[in-house]
Amino acid sequence: MIRSEYFKKNVSRETIMKLSKFHNILIDNNKKMSLISKNSEKIAVERHYVDCAQMIKYFDKSDKLILDIGSGAGLPGIILDIIKSDYNLNFSTHLIDKSPKKAKFLHNVNSLLNLDIKIHNCDLRQINDRSFTTLVSRAFKPMKEFFEIILDTDIKFKKIILMKGEKFMNELKIAKKYFEINCESFKSLTNPKSKLFVIKSVSKI
Ligand SMILES: C[S@@+](CC[C@H](N)C(=O)[O-])C[C@H]1O[C@@H](n2cnc3c(N)ncnc32)[C@H](O)[C@@H]1O
């Protein structure tokens, strides 16, 4: 079982068991493909799962259909889907990743954990479903590139929740030259140098 004060405090034992199963599958598959950095395997609970789980604080009942863009190992989409019932949330989760290997891993996790997630294995620009309540993303692209793809792809959304690392200030400064961004930012629980951005709208200047 994974050990985490954060999860112990916030979710049920069954959820912790599901997270542990996810962790085992991830670590096992990380031997043959690059899902998370090898250096972060031993600290994956805090570095990856708690980091992703903290996003749930910015969800409410209006978040019904979420898309995790550039999901990779299912971060944050799978974590959010596993913990949602502990927060009385009931959204449907879609994940998109263009890598066939990662999509195969995500399909395996979906079936082994008995989740009901929809996985899109294509470039974001080619996705068929283009209407979501909520976009989430972590470690995908710098903000400017992210907004360019979202707007070019014409994906409809009401909210974007972005997890940004230490370079967030610079990224935001660059993005603001090209886009009008209506957003709030919040401290990360896991890294004082990171931020979570909750974006209500973004348009080209
Ligand atoms: C750095 S990984 C981040 C993975 C995960 N979100 C995390 O936090 O660990 C970025 C992922 O985005 C995917 N990706 C990059 N460009 C993409 C695109 N245009 N459409 C869909 N997926 C893309 C890559 O295949 C990769 O798995």
| Per-residue pLDDT at 136 | 98
Alpha carbon nearest to ligand 1 atom 27, residue: 72
Q: How many structural domains compose the chain?
A: 1
- pLDDT for the residue 170: 96
Which tens digits make up the pLDDT trace of 56-110? 999 999 999 999 999 999 999 999 999 999 999 999 999 999 999 999 999 999 9
User: Does some domain include residue 117?
Assistant: yes
Cα-to-centroid distance, 140 and ligand 1 (Å): 5
| Token pair in block for residue 80 | 């959010």
Q: What percent of the chain has pLDDT over 70?
A: 100
pLDDT at 106: 98
Residue 61 lies in a domain: yes
What is the per-residue pLDDT for 165? 92
Predicted local confidence at residue 68, as pLDDT: 98
CATH value at residue 91: 3.40.50.150
Q: Does the beta carbon of 71 lie inside 6 Å of ligand 1? A: yes
- Residues of the chain with pLDDT below 70 are none
Q: Is residue 121 part of a domain?
A: yes
Residue 29 lies inside a defined structural domain of this protein: no
- The rounded distance, in Å, linking the Cα atoms of 187 and 175 is 20
Rounded to an integer, what distance in angstroms lies between the CA atom of residue 28 and that of residue 74? Answer: 15
Please report the atom of ligand 1 found closest to the CA of residue 97. Answer: 22
Give domain status of residue 190, yes or no. yes
Instruction: Say if pTM beats, i.e. exceeds, 0.95.
Output: yes
As given in the structure block, the two tokens for residue 149 are 């793809």
Given this model, what pLDDT does residue 38 score?
97
- Domain interval for residue 195: 49-204
**Residue 12 domain flag:** no
CB within 8 A of 69, min separation 6: which ones? 96, 124, 135, 136, 137, 140, 146
Any bridge partners for residue 164, and if so which? Answer: 195
Q: Is residue 138 within 6 Å of ligand 1 at its C-beta?
A: yes
How many A from CA of 35 to the centre of ligand 1?
Answer: 10
